[in-house]
Structure 1
Amino acid sequence: MAKHALIRLAGTIAATTLCVAAAATEAAAQDGTIVLNEQLQLGDILSGQTLNVVDAQDQVTVSTSAQGNAFSGAVENDSITVSSDQDMRGDSTARSDVTLGGDTDGVVNVITQAGGNYLAASAYDAGLTVEATQSNTGGLVSATSEVGDSDARLLAGGSVNASAVSNTTALYGEGSAIDGSIDQSSSATVRSFSRIQSQYVPAETAVTSESTINAVAVTSGQTSGQALTINQTSTSDFVEADASANAGNAWDLASRARASANRAVLSNQGGSVVTTSSQENSSFVRAAALTTAYDYGRAEARATGAGNELSVGNNDIYVEIDNTQINSGGVDVSATFSGTNGYDVYVGADAVGNSVTGYACSECEGYLEARNSQTNSGDVSAQATTVVAGSNRAVITGANAVGNSASFYVSRPTH
């Protein structure tokens, strides 16, 4: 069922703040640099590494990436208008296979990334206008990290990560005004898989997996401002993230998986934020985290899945949000731990069809205005499973499934 709301949370505001910032941005755009970018990728992008390491005495660091289209730019003490059209039609796959035999004395760091379209732009004491279109009609975006062996001893622990994103737009500003529009669409399947297998890990070790179809991240500070229109559409079959952390004896072992169809995160300080956002998803979303250990000190399995996500925050006085979210894809999230003897276990599974969060600064008498419409017709499931065959000290678990979630507030971060 659709939900419509108009919400105002207000203190006092100087109404000219937004108007002056918008006028200054428009004037700067007229006088500044113009960049026209068109990128078309028709073929497949493949990247892979295979390592077999025995008794490494220092660190083991592996980085593997595959990217279809990429654009980056920056402006300082001026203004720039970026008009970008990126079209990805091939597959993008990256894979890291690392076999670790015997004792590995140094920290193990493995990161594997796969992407379709990527755009990044930064502004410093400047004006940044972005008109970006990203489309991915390829078949697959996939990242895989496989690490360890049944007798591997990772004495310094480490991190293993796999990340797959179909479309990414990242904007950053300091003392700058950021405005424009971002339009993302994707029909590509997106998946990430990350796993570690070991005999003994006496140090902190984390295995993470993250998959996103459409992603927007905008960060600005030091008297900056934002005025953006964001449209995200996901029509792929599915997006999934799997993380698996396994050890015979582990001191601090964690698996974390996150899968999202459409995700936009905007944060700002020192100016106004005006956001119009439309997110529509029909893709099936799946996130699964698995942690196993016979003996353990601290063990964690956490998984998060969402159809549509929007977060807009401003550490200043003005926030305006006009949000529409439609999710018809199912969301399935599971987090599992299995062990025998140990101390503390944390297991969490969180699933949501549509989610929006908006907040403004309370200490500066913030004002927040939100118009929100959310419709979810997909099944949403969250499951947390914990098995302790022997004895332990504490078990803390949680499973949360929500169809539509909306949170708007003006409060201190600690409240």
Structure 2
Amino acid sequence: MARHAPNRLAGTIAATAMCVVAATEAFAQDRSIVLNQQLQLGDVIAGETLNVEDATGEVGVNVAAQGNTASGTVQNGAIDLSSQQTMRGNTRATTSLTLTGDTEGPVNAETQARGNYLAAGAYGANLTVDASQTVAPSEVTASSVITGSSARLIGGASVGVTAIANTTSLGASGSRVEGVIVQNSSAGVRASNFAGTQYIPETAEFISQSAGNTVSVNSGLASSQNLAIRQRQAGDQVTASTSANSGNAWDLAGRARATGNQAILYNQGGSAVVLTDQSNLSQIQTASRVTSYDFGAATANAYGTGNEVSIGNNDVYLEIDNSQVNSGGVEVSSTFEGTNGYDVRVASQAVGNSVTGYACSQCNGYMDVTNAQTNSGAVSATASTTIRGTGRSVATSANAIGNSATFYVSRPGS
């Protein structure tokens, strides 16, 4: 790692916790060192209940429950970040909306439940990470409900629900990111999103997503990566359920996504060398249900996977050493029911293990890939469409795959 003059700002990082925080930050001659330890023993619960009639403007809701969270950045220097986060209680976030009469403005609601969360950014710097996240046997749940059936959402809606046991998110620009990330979850993870409405004459989207462990790394400009990621999900279930319903909807979408382990990485401007090791024991269940008596456009989309890796490098060299084992079943379903309308899109995809790697052909990109995937869980995908009256077009698909591996070299933008 390069040395820098002592008068350069090496960086700062801040850590916050619901229970115990032990963080140290010291300016050394050539780098900063941060030691973060967080332990949450009890439950963390956040909830919001709204009862609104004939709202003339936007209805906005943001509910978040997090066991441990740490975040920070480094600029024009170097930093060693050592972080250990442990969540032993339950995490729950709930939103309940009763909307009567005409809601003239848009409905924007976000509900999140996370056990452990770590975020770090590097700008013209060197970031070395040694991170460990653990969620003991517990529940991580997030839910949103629009109650009743008389809601008239004149301004449309965007409602999202997220439940994740462990999250690590790294961003960089003109930097080198390296180190080890270990995530272990024994939690049941569940996200549900329900909407009962009468009339929506604008775009309305309802999304639920859940995951045991997630890692995302996005580094751009003259950056490089050298990372080892190990993820274990062993709770009973990881589920995502969306039910979006309306008497008359012009453009209605319900989406659901559930993943045991996920690692999404992108780099630009240097080499990317990544080792990923994933194991999922949990049952993955995803369901998206959309109903509308009269409809313009309607979409029901569901995706579920035991283990997922996507690594891309918009530069010369990409090295991937990937190992995935899934023994949990993956069950995915998408459903639409309506009477009279126009266009319907229904899609369902279930995958035991999935890996994608890509490099830049315009840069004379080169990939070195080692891949091992084992799936022993049942994988099923179903799609159902019922139109009792008239409709213009229907597009539906259902795909179930045990192991999927895709590697390619393409030019930017392709």
The answer to whether the superposition gives a TM-score over 0.5 is: yes
Once residues 347 and 401 of structure 1 are traced to their aligned partners in structure 2, the CA distance between those partners, rounded to angstroms, is: 15
Once residues 393 and 235 of structure 2 are traced to their aligned partners in structure 1, the CA distance between those partners, rounded to angstroms, is: 40
Other-structure match for 1:153: 152
What's the CA shift for 1:149? 2.8
Once residues 322 and 30 of structure 1 are traced to their aligned partners in structure 2, the CA distance between those partners, rounded to angstroms, is: 35
SS in 1 for 2:42: coil
Do 1:248 and 1:295's aligned partners in 2 also have CA atoms closer than 8 Å? yes
SS in 1 for 2:111: strand
Once residues 24 and 349 of structure 1 are traced to their aligned partners in structure 2, the CA distance between those partners, rounded to angstroms, is: 48
SS in 2 for 1:223: coil
Other-structure match for 1:252: 251
Other-structure match for 1:353: 352
Do 1:160 and 1:195's aligned partners in 2 also have CA atoms closer than 8 Å? no
Tell whether 2:207 aligns with 1:208: yes
Residues 139, 208 of structure 1: alpha-carbon distance in 2 compared, 3 angstrom cutoff: same
Do 1:88 and 1:138's aligned partners in 2 also have CA atoms closer than 8 Å? no
1:147-182: CA deviation from partner (whole Å, max 9, x where unpaired): 253111100101111100000000000000000000
For residues 7-406 of structure 1, the aligned pairs below 5 Å read: 23-24=1-2, 31-406=30-405
SS in 2 for 1:156: coil
Once residues 317 and 255 of structure 2 are traced to their aligned partners in structure 1, the CA distance between those partners, rounded to angstroms, is: 34
Residues 26, 401 of structure 1: alpha-carbon distance in 2 compared, 3 angstrom cutoff: farther
The letter for the 1-side match of 2:399 is N
Other-structure match for 1:20: none
1:345-370: CA deviation from partner (whole Å, max 9, x where unpaired): 00000000000000000111100110
What's the CA shift for 1:139? 1.1
Do 1:330 and 1:380's aligned partners in 2 also have CA atoms closer than 8 Å? yes
Do 2:3 and 2:30's aligned partners in 1 also have CA atoms closer than 8 Å? no
Residues 156, 148 of structure 1: alpha-carbon distance in 2 compared, 3 angstrom cutoff: farther
The letter for the 2-side match of 1:53 is V
Once residues 147 and 73 of structure 1 are traced to their aligned partners in structure 2, the CA distance between those partners, rounded to angstroms, is: 36
SS in 2 for 1:306: strand
Once residues 345 and 225 of structure 2 are traced to their aligned partners in structure 1, the CA distance between those partners, rounded to angstroms, is: 38
Once residues 342 and 79 of structure 1 are traced to their aligned partners in structure 2, the CA distance between those partners, rounded to angstroms, is: 58
1:365-406: CA deviation from partner (whole Å, max 9, x where unpaired): 100110000000000000000001011100000000000000
User: Where does structure 2 lack aligned partners over 5 or more consecutive residues?
Assistant: 11-27
What's the CA shift for 1:412? 2.7
Do 1:147 and 1:160's aligned partners in 2 also have CA atoms closer than 8 Å? no
Once residues 265 and 4 of structure 2 are traced to their aligned partners in structure 1, the CA distance between those partners, rounded to angstroms, is: 21
The letter for the 2-side match of 1:365 is N
1:304-358: CA deviation from partner (whole Å, max 9, x where unpaired): 0000000000111110000000000000000000000000000000000000000
The letter for the 2-side match of 1:153 is R
TM superposition outliers: structure 1 runs of 4+ over 6 Å: 25-30
Residues 83, 91 of structure 1: alpha-carbon distance in 2 compared, 3 angstrom cutoff: same
SS in 1 for 2:222: coil
SS in 2 for 1:390: strand
Other-structure match for 1:5: none
Once residues 179 and 72 of structure 2 are traced to their aligned partners in structure 1, the CA distance between those partners, rounded to angstroms, is: 16
What's the CA shift for 1:138? 3.9
Other-structure match for 2:19: none
Do 1:258 and 1:287's aligned partners in 2 also have CA atoms closer than 8 Å? yes
The letter for the 1-side match of 2:184 is S
Once residues 111 and 37 of structure 1 are traced to their aligned partners in structure 2, the CA distance between those partners, rounded to angstroms, is: 28
Do 1:81 and 1:128's aligned partners in 2 also have CA atoms closer than 8 Å? yes
Once residues 382 and 92 of structure 2 are traced to their aligned partners in structure 1, the CA distance between those partners, rounded to angstroms, is: 29
1:77-103: CA deviation from partner (whole Å, max 9, x where unpaired): 011110000000000000000100000
Once residues 186 and 60 of structure 1 are traced to their aligned partners in structure 2, the CA distance between those partners, rounded to angstroms, is: 35
Other-structure match for 2:14: none
1:191-248: CA deviation from partner (whole Å, max 9, x where unpaired): 0001111100000000000000000000010111110000000111010000111000
Once residues 25 and 269 of structure 1 are traced to their aligned partners in structure 2, the CA distance between those partners, rounded to angstroms, is: 23
Do 1:25 and 1:177's aligned partners in 2 also have CA atoms closer than 8 Å? no
Once residues 111 and 86 of structure 1 are traced to their aligned partners in structure 2, the CA distance between those partners, rounded to angstroms, is: 24
Once residues 320 and 73 of structure 1 are traced to their aligned partners in structure 2, the CA distance between those partners, rounded to angstroms, is: 28
The letter for the 2-side match of 1:389 is R
Once residues 2 and 403 of structure 2 are traced to their aligned partners in structure 1, the CA distance between those partners, rounded to angstroms, is: 37
1:43-85: CA deviation from partner (whole Å, max 9, x where unpaired): 0001111110000000000111100000001000011110000
Once residues 29 and 260 of structure 2 are traced to their aligned partners in structure 1, the CA distance between those partners, rounded to angstroms, is: 36
Question: CA RMSD, aligned part only?
Answer: 1.5
Structure with more relative contact order (C-alpha pairs < 8 Å, separation 6 or more):
1
Once residues 138 and 375 of structure 1 are traced to their aligned partners in structure 2, the CA distance between those partners, rounded to angstroms, is: 25
